[in-house]
Amino acid sequence: MPIKYKYDKKIDLEQLHELFKSVDWESAKYPEKLQLAMEKSHQVITAWDGEKLIGLINALSDGVMTVYFHYMLVHPDYQRKDIGKKLMNLMLDKYESYPTKVLISYEAAIDFYIRRGFKTEEGTTPLYITDLV
């Protein structure tokens, strides 16, 4: 069955929770907040294998100049099948006219994002305040 991609911010809580748990992200501990975060995102694109949520990317934006890609994840059973690449390309197409596109990557995924056109910015360091335990 081909993978389907949807532009939809309303995602079933259990499906969303299962996807985040599958990649062992700390955010999975807050399923209700995750669901609300998706609904309040500027844009969300999801990947589906039939009725199963297998991937997701979301964007936060000022709507004009800058877009920040916050979550980008693919269920481990579906990784290395170009699903993440497709999700990122769809999002980059959506925000093509924006002069600034930002994301913070885990070390293991940096090469993936570099292949999508991102680069590190000399003299910058990501900083956080987080209450996630």
Q: What is the pLDDT of residue 10?
A: 95
pLDDT tens, residue by residue, 115-132: 888 888 888 777 777 665
| pLDDT at residue 133 is higher than 60 | no
Q: What is the pLDDT of residue 109?
A: 78
Q: Please indicate whether residue 46 or residue 112 has the higher confidence score (pLDDT).
A: 46
What does the block give as tokens for 56? 């997701």
* Residue 48, strand partner residues: 4, 53
pLDDT tens, residue by residue, 83-104: 999 999 999 999 999 999 999 8
SS3 57: strand
Q: Name the architecture of domain 4-115.
A: 3-Layer(aba) Sandwich (3.40)
Q: What is the pLDDT of residue 31?
A: 96
pLDDT tens, residue by residue, 49-77: 999 999 999 999 999 999 999 999 999 99
Distance CA 61, CA 120 (A): 20
Q: What is the pLDDT of residue 132?
A: 58
Whether the model clears a pTM of 0.85, i.e. scores above it, the answer is yes
